[in-house]
Every structure is written in structure tokens, then in C-alpha cells.
A and B are shown apart, each in its own frame.
Chain A
């Protein structure tokens, strides 16, 4: 019997497992949240005691964009290095999702199976990280970026930055912080910790944007002055320096150099200290470089060798709904999640690298997980695709809003339909046989269209997706 679990926690685990089995049997989603919800209710300290059993400790991954992909890549690296990563699945990144994954990892006797080889790799919602981190006691805390996202739900970006700062400066166990030095709001967390800091960033001004984007979410240094940039990679992320004080982008320990952005894959030199290894990842877009780099920096913080990192990055597939590919009716469908202005800008940039004319299905939902306020689409540079789109189909519950956004950008939709199934069929018909359909969707729209794509192509349900 596991030393960490009391009778109450064991009961809670059994109840959670039973709930997960029932949900799965009923075909009602993958049970990624409910088991954790139930078990967490019955035994509120379960998360602490289960996490404490993991032999290699816990890594948390937080930030606005890239959590799922980064955690997915880091887990792949850890697996390649002989560990058994335990991750929350399918973007279920609140407490219940983490408890659910712990519930799944516990054997009927109540102990975490193969605990000695276990490493927790948990993606955590950026607003919940300050609450969950003290309970998970991570060894390594990885921070990706901080962009505006769902302002209707989370309030202003500044309040999340302040909560992160307060949390990392709290007394108690101190994790190693893995920080994106290119994002000033993330980089400056290094000032607040007593622990070790490992910075990662891109060292390739050739990959910079020709002009700043409109969606820029950190303008002011702690001293009150504005930032200036030698190069901007996306949004407010780049080679920054404060106009008013000594603060500037710290030199990264883990960096990407000689970045090459292809239509399908991305290449760069992964540089860690004195070591340099060329890496090719089967993911498009500069944001994928950041995710890979973050995973590599996380692996470095865990002491995993750079060779294992490069190998795993090259071999790993996309995470759920993030550049996943499906083969449907003789066409290839690529599914790209875009849930906020910077995320959408990055996806649009990745599409610019694809072969025009594009056939595009764009989907906008306004569920709680998408954000009720859909006006954020005006912060993204949809105009980028003008002249590159051959056929555009627009869908989602707010299809009319998105159709208007594209029309204002000079890209007239060929069809607008709020029904996902109809829109997908229309878009597939608009795609030449053997050609490719690009699907860009907000979170819940992505879940809906992915379910259809999975059943049409014979790929699995989303809860069967993770290894």
C-alpha cells in the first residue's frame, strides 16, 4: 500500500476511477475531468499526496499559448530518456484534469504504478498556476508567455502577471524556473525567485517580424518606461530592452539559432551552453520553435541529455488539435487551434508559408472556454491572408462575426454556415482531390470539428489520443 495515501484518499481514487469508466462507457467524452472532480471533492489533499509519490517530481507548464504542445513534447523527451511521464490530457488543465490523470496512474492497491520512474508533466491554466503550484510542489516550473486571452473571463493581463510574481516569490519550496527570456513579463519573473533560472529564447533576428503587430500585450516595464526592440518575433516577444532602466532581455541558456520556417516543418539549431544540435520538427510556424525550445529547456532543467531531446523533438507528432493531420475523402486536413490574437497571428503566419491558393475552413465559437467576447478577431492581422486564399468557408457559432472579419480584410467567404458538419462538407468539396484543407478553429470549435474529422478518417476519439 502506498505510504502517501490514507483510506479517504484511496476511497476517493476508487470513486474517481469508477466515474471515469462509466463516462467512457456512455461515450460521453473521455472522462478527462470528471474523475478528478469527484476524487478531488472526496479527498481534497489527493493532489498533494499523489504528486509527492512521483519519483522524478513534477514539471508544470504554464502561459497563454503553447502549453499543450510544450507539455506533449516534454513528455516525449522524458519518455525517450527512459522516464514514464504522467500528463494531464487534452487541455484539461485545471485541478480536476490533473487529479484525473493522477487517478488514472494509481493501481487498484492505491499506489502510483511504477512511481520511481514517474515524472509529472502538467500543463496548468495560467490563472490557476498560483493556486496549484504550491500544492504540486513542482521541481521545475516552465513559463511560456503571457498574452491577452479571454479578457472577459480572466480580467486584465496585468493581474495574471502580478499573481505569477507573487507566487514565485512566496517562501517555501523553490522550483527551478524555466523562463522565456524573449517575453519581458515572463523574463522578469527571474527577479522574484530565489531559485535557479534557466532562460530560453530565439537568437535569430532574421526570423523577426518586418513590423510590430497590433496585438502587443506587454508595453511597460516595472519601472514604468516602455520597451524597445532590436527584433520582434511575435506580439511583444523579442529582443527587448527597457527605455527607462537597466532591464533587458537576459541572455538565454537554451536557444534556437538559424531558424528555418517551412510549410510543413521547422528547422533550427538547438544550442545549450557549448552544445549545438540541428533539430527538425514536423510542425510549422515560429510558435512551434518556441514550444520545442521550451520543452528542450525543461528537459535541460531536469538534467536530460540534449541528444534525447533532439531525437524526441524530431520524432514527435503534433499534440491534440494542434497541427494534427487527418486523411478524409482523399484530402489532407490540417487542424490548427487559434484561440487569441497572438495565437491566430502565428497560425496565419504559418499559413503564409503554405502553398497558395489555400482552401480554408475558419471557425469561431463563443463558448466559455473560447471567451464569450469574439471581438478579439479584430486584434489579429487577418489581412495577412489576403490574396492567398482560394476558397474560404466560415463556420462556428459566431460564423457571421468571423465572415465579417474576413470580408473587411478583403477575403470574401464562399460559404458561411454555423453547422459544423455542413461547413466541413462544403470545405472538403471545395478542396481539390489530393489537396489540402486548412482548418483554423477556436478551442471548442476545434473539439467539434476534430470529432467529425476523427470519425471520418478513422482516427481515435480525443480521449484515446494520448499515449
Chain B
């Protein structure tokens, strides 16, 4: 540990367009956690039309309104081959809400327009008929060996998993991908898609640690170890408090 020679290279996609509901919180938490580990964290922001760096260990993309998704969709699709290669190469990814939707096959807007995705997750997303309620509320979900994850979701689109997709978590409280099938998000290799917004990494250090470890392994080889630190006490307390809120007022699911 405390080996400043180790540095992960992070790419944030469209941070000024795709960051609604405080998605930047994830980057703040990632940087802070890297600091605790003594790992360097080099961040490159990539906007519309900017070149992607030659390589990356971790890719972050947040959510946006329909208008913003429409705006980035073509630019993102043009980077599809590269991003898919990265995913196959076990680059860590955290894609949230609108970003998650566009890392699936497509997002069909309420107007019926189909925005192509990069297809890393075998998922499709459809905006519901006008007037259908948005999926808004506190979330508590079971993410397997990552334990319980907590957060807040706010999305119109309903996401459906294809045969090759694994969910990120199983719902306990909240809507999840579509409100019906009890799934939340998706996982492919080291890529995570989820509807939990900007306080995901701050309040779920287990997810942060997973991403950091995957990024380190991408950079330094599969043998790399991360001697996991205990969660930050503030993060742990915030996690517990958010879980209690979700249990009290989150929509039970199933």
C-alpha cells in the first residue's frame, strides 16, 4: 500500500452534459478513496468530439435528460468499437442511468426515436407511454458479494435484460430496471450499469473498491492485490442511514 507508483487512469465521458442528479459524487468519492489507498487517480474528461485517450483503466458516465442523451448519442455510438474493446479487455466501467441506457443496445424515447447504444450490456430501454409515472425513490438492493447497495433512482425509461445480461443487483426496495422483474442494473465483465445516482460510490465503498481493484488489475496485471481498507466511518454511517430510509419508505420490491 501507499505505493504512489500505482496510478489508475480514469476517463469521464461527457461530464458537463451527462451529470444530472449529482453523478459527480462518484468521481469525488473515487478520488478520495484512491487517496486513502495511496493510489494515484488521473482523470481525463472527454466531451463531444474530443479524442479518447489511447488507454483507460476505468470509464465513468452519468445520466442526463432526454435532450442531453440525444445530444451525445451519435458521438458515443461513434466510439462504440473502442469502448466495446475496452470492456472485453476488462476495463472497469461505471455507467449510470442515461449513460447505462446508452451502454445497452438502444434507448427508445417517448417520441419513438431510437437512440443507438454501444451494446456493452445486453439490455434495451424504452421510455414509457406519456403520463406513465417515473421510477423515483430510495433504493436498497442486494448486489451479491458487494453486499447491500443503497441509493436513489430517478428515471422514466424501463430497461429490460436480454438473455446474456446479468443484473447488478436484486431489488429489495425501489423500482430497479423496470419496476417489474426485481432486477437493478447490469454487469458485464468489469462494467457496471445502474440507476443509482451520484451518491452511489460515496455511500457504497464496496463498489468503489471493486472498481479500483479492477482498474489496478487492468493496469498492472491480474495478480495485483488491493489490501482492502475498512470503509470510511462517514461512508459506513451514511450507508446505514440510507438503508434505513429505503426500508422505511422505499417501494417494497418484490
A residues near B (Cβ < 8 Å) are 148, 151-152, 155-158, 214, 216, 219-220, 341, 366, 372-379, 398-401, 403-405, 407-409, 416
Bound-state CA distance A378–B29 (Å) is 10
- Identify which of B16, B22, B65, B137 contacts A372 (C-beta below 8 A): B137
* A409 closest partner in B (C-beta): B28
- The 8 Å CB contact of A403, one of B65, B136, B199, B234, is B234
Q: Taking A152-B136, A152-B154, A377-B22 as contacts, is the C-beta distance between A216 and B237 under 8 angstroms?
A: no
Question: Which 9 residue pairs are nearest across A and B when measured between Cβ atoms?
Answer: A378-B25, A378-B22, A400-B241, A375-B199, A375-B22, A404-B238, A404-B234, A407-B234, A400-B238
Kindly provide the distance from the CB of A400 to the nearest chain B CB, expressed in whole angstroms.
Answer: 4
- B199 interface neighbour in A158, A214, A374, A416, Cβ under 8 Å: A374
Question: When A366-B245, A375-B152, A378-B24 are in contact, do A404 and B235 touch as well, CB less than 8 Å?
Answer: yes
Q: Is A151 in contact with B237, judged by CB distance below 8 angstroms?
A: no
Q: Which residues of B contact A407 (CB under 8 A)?
A: 232, 234
**Given A375-B197, A403-B237, A404-B234: A155 and B134 interface contact (C-beta under 8 Å):** yes
A152 and B32 contact, CB distance less than 8 A: no
| A373-B136, A377-B22, A400-B237 given; 16 more Cβ-contact pairs under 8 Å | A151-B21, A155-B134, A156-B65, A157-B65, A219-B17, A372-B138, A374-B199, A375-B22, A375-B199, A376-B22, A378-B22, A378-B199, A378-B202, A398-B245, A404-B203, A405-B202
B192-213 interface bits toward A, Cβ cutoff 8 Å, 1 = contact, 0 = none = 0000011100110000000000
Interface residue count on the B side (C-beta < 8 Å):
38
Q: Which of A157, A375, A398, A400 contacts B198 (CB 8 A)?
A: A375
Are A214 and B65 within 8 A (Cβ)? no
Q: Give A438 to B30 CA distance when docked, in angstroms.
A: 30
Give complex CA distance A220, B241 in Å: 37
Distance of A280 Cα from B67 Cα, bound (Å): 42
Instruction: Tell whether B19 is near chain A: CB-to-CB under 8 Å.
Output: yes
A448 to B20, CA, bound (A): 29
B242 contacts the other chain (CB 8 A)? yes
CB-defined contacts of B9 to chain A, threshold 8 Å: none
- Known contacts A375-B199, A403-B234: does B67 contact A152 (CB below 8 Å)? no
Give bound CA distance, A408 to B28, whole Å.
7
> In the bound complex, do residue B203 and residue A214 qualify as a contact, i.e. CB atoms below 8 Å apart?
no
Chain B residues with CB under 8 Å of A379's CB are 19, 22, 24, 198
B71 within 8 A of A: yes
> Are A219 and B65 in touch, CB under 8 angstroms?
no
Q: Which of B117-168 contact A (CB under 8 A)?
A: 134, 136-138, 151-152, 154
Q: Check if B240 is an interface residue, CB within 8 A of chain A.
A: yes
Bound complex: CA A151 to CA B199 (Å): 15
Chain B 40-92 interface residues, beta-carbon cutoff 8 Å to A: 65-68, 71
Contacting residues, chain B, for A398 (C-beta < 8 A): 241, 245
- A148 and B20 contacting across the interface, CB-CB below 8 Å: yes
Q: List 26 A-B pairs, Cβ < 8 Å.
A: A151-B20, A152-B136, A152-B137, A155-B134, A156-B20, A157-B65, A219-B17, A219-B68, A220-B71, A341-B22, A366-B245, A372-B136, A373-B21, A373-B154, A375-B22, A375-B25, A375-B151, A375-B199, A376-B22, A378-B28, A379-B24, A398-B241, A400-B241, A403-B237, A404-B235, A404-B237
